[in-house]
Copies of this chain bind each other. A is one copy, B any other.
């Protein structure tokens, strides 16, 4: 258990001290280095990157009462004699908190709050999980969840509404299939949706029936018949989701996250947390489109709020879809679908106009671009706008997954940032090979090529699409092997980054990508004291040891915000 540091005004005086000692103690506050008011964490294997990415090691860290690093101490350096608080690190590794440069904060929380049926090995197990969850959540008006797969149940059929009605019939239940392509409703949910024998399956969808009657499963487009009845979450539920998301991210060692696509409702939840001193995680909010940007931040980026915990500094736009669903916009047809090239969501001028609208008011622009055509379009827009919007703009390309090798050098122009998610590479590898064929993979997930081109790199998770665990990201980044070590030696190993670069991608480079490098990402003196305590040094350990890291404590702004029990 980490101690709770005393309030920031505590001077450490008490009635037994003499007058002069008291006077001396207080005077110390006026000295340039207020050593006696700092907290100390000693006996640690401290490691951080300085702003140039050089490894700095230390064995103790001194923290000011307002939560900044005042000093890093070597083994031989004198410790302060009367620290405001003192923690024995017991030899653990202490390193900068992780920055996730691409996550979806509220979605992380909402996903964690609904029922996960993926562990169910039979219909009976799924039924019991639904019943237990409903009993444990008496105030939820809808019982929501997902992850079911009747194939693994040996059922030989889809489940039915009656299967759920047998355990929960007073409230609507709605469970999404593991692949996201079907939903399973109970009778109450179907009744609310007004689905009955007369309901026709919509184009692109199928209502499963027993005789003439819908029996509970709605495939593809038909799922919308029920989905549209699920009520929008109320503020109280949003607050719960945010609390859950913070807990998940902080327990994974993530102390700051770029929230990619903040809606007004998301923002209001962030602010409620901030107003009530319940915002522990740092959130760099990128508005979900220009409308949200204007509604939330108004005429320009917000200031840093709540001691640098929250800021809306930019906007997130979408240039194309994703590779799995063949929505990524490619220069040439899909290898496995020769008549498709994916979906470009915006014309060249639409994209430039939206980017311009944001840049005009000083917002940073982050654009989702996955396919090589989408990346080219975006690089063209960046090039075009850089003539008008001078200065330090840090245009962000989110994902930058499939890039034509001849376009790669352009990531080195105009201070462009490639915001990439290492774990996507291992998750998508086989699928990407199918979609593109082997000849077009040279610029796929090309982290090292990005660096060589002079691009700024930032790493993230895309949670909840992937796990929020940054150590999986780090291990992947320098191996390009998946959790089981496949493929041995790494997939396209020339695109691996070094361990130090992997760490930089989740720390100093992530801070830079959010205009936050003057406050977080490193533990050099003057920076916010955001750090984690772990029992493995990721610069020394094997990839599988790194993947096994469990964060023991997470501190933000010099205060413990997560302590593993």
Please, which residues of chain B bring their CB within 8 A of the CB of A294? 234-235
B236 touches A275 (CB 8 A): no
A294–chain B nearest beta-carbon distance, Å: 6
User: Within 8 Å of chain B (Cβ to Cβ): is A276?
Assistant: yes
Please, which residues of chain B bring their CB within 8 A of the CB of A299? 234-236, 239, 272
The one of B26, B264, B296 in contact with A23, judged by C-beta atoms closer than 8 angstroms, is: B26
User: Within 8 Å of chain B (Cβ to Cβ): is A424?
Assistant: no
Contact with B along A273-312 (1 / 0, CB 8 A): 0011000000000000000001111110011010000000
CA distance A30 to B25 in the complex (A): 12
A323–chain B nearest beta-carbon distance, Å: 36
CA distance A82 to B86 in the complex (A): 38
A276 touches B296 (CB 8 A): no
User: Within 8 Å of chain B (Cβ to Cβ): is A355?
Assistant: no
Please, which residues of chain B bring their CB within 8 A of the CB of A269? 298
A271–chain B nearest beta-carbon distance, Å: 8
Number of this chain's copies in the assembly equals: 2
User: Within 8 Å of chain B (Cβ to Cβ): is A121?
Assistant: no
Please, which residues of chain B bring their CB within 8 A of the CB of A22? 27
A238 touches B272 (CB 8 A): no
Instruction: Find the B residue at minimum CB distance from A295.
Output: B268
Given known A-B contacts A26-B30, A27-B23, A27-B26, A296 and B268 have beta carbons under 8 A apart: yes
Instruction: Find the B residue at minimum CB distance from A26.
Output: B26
Contact with B along A10-43 (1 / 0, CB 8 A): 0001000000001100110110000000000000
CA distance A146 to B302 in the complex (A): 34
Instruction: Find the B residue at minimum CB distance from A276.
Output: B303
Interface residues of A in 451-470 (CB under 8 A from B): none
A179–chain B nearest beta-carbon distance, Å: 34
Instruction: Find the B residue at minimum CB distance from A267.
Output: B268
Please, which residues of chain B bring their CB within 8 A of the CB of A305? 275
Given known A-B contacts A275-B303, A303-B275, A305-B275, A238 and B27 have beta carbons under 8 A apart: no
Please, which residues of chain B bring their CB within 8 A of the CB of A268? 295-296, 298
Please, which residues of chain B bring their CB within 8 A of the CB of A23? 23, 26-27
B26 touches A298 (CB 8 A): no
CA distance A279 to B13 in the complex (A): 37
A465–chain B nearest beta-carbon distance, Å: 27
B239 touches A298 (CB 8 A): yes
Please, which residues of chain B bring their CB within 8 A of the CB of A296? 268
Instruction: Find the B residue at minimum CB distance from A268.
Output: B298
Please, which residues of chain B bring their CB within 8 A of the CB of A297? 235
A23–chain B nearest beta-carbon distance, Å: 4
A44–chain B nearest beta-carbon distance, Å: 33
Please, which residues of chain B bring their CB within 8 A of the CB of A30? 13, 26
Instruction: Find the B residue at minimum CB distance from A272.
Output: B298
CA distance A311 to B297 in the complex (A): 19
Q: List, sorted by A's number, 25 A–B pairs whose CB atoms are closer than 8 Å.
A: A13-B30, A22-B27, A23-B23, A23-B26, A26-B27, A26-B29, A26-B30, A234-B294, A234-B299, A235-B294, A235-B297, A235-B299, A236-B298, A236-B299, A238-B298, A239-B299, A264-B264, A268-B295, A268-B296, A268-B298, A269-B298, A272-B298, A272-B299, A272-B302, A275-B305
Rank and list the top 8 A-B pairs by shortest CB-CB distance, nearest first.
A235-B298, A23-B23, A236-B299, A235-B299, A26-B26, A275-B303, A272-B298, A275-B302
Name A residues whose Cβ lies closer than 8 Å to a Cβ of B.
13, 22-23, 26-27, 29-30, 234-236, 238-239, 264-265, 268-269, 271-272, 275-276, 294-299, 302-303, 305
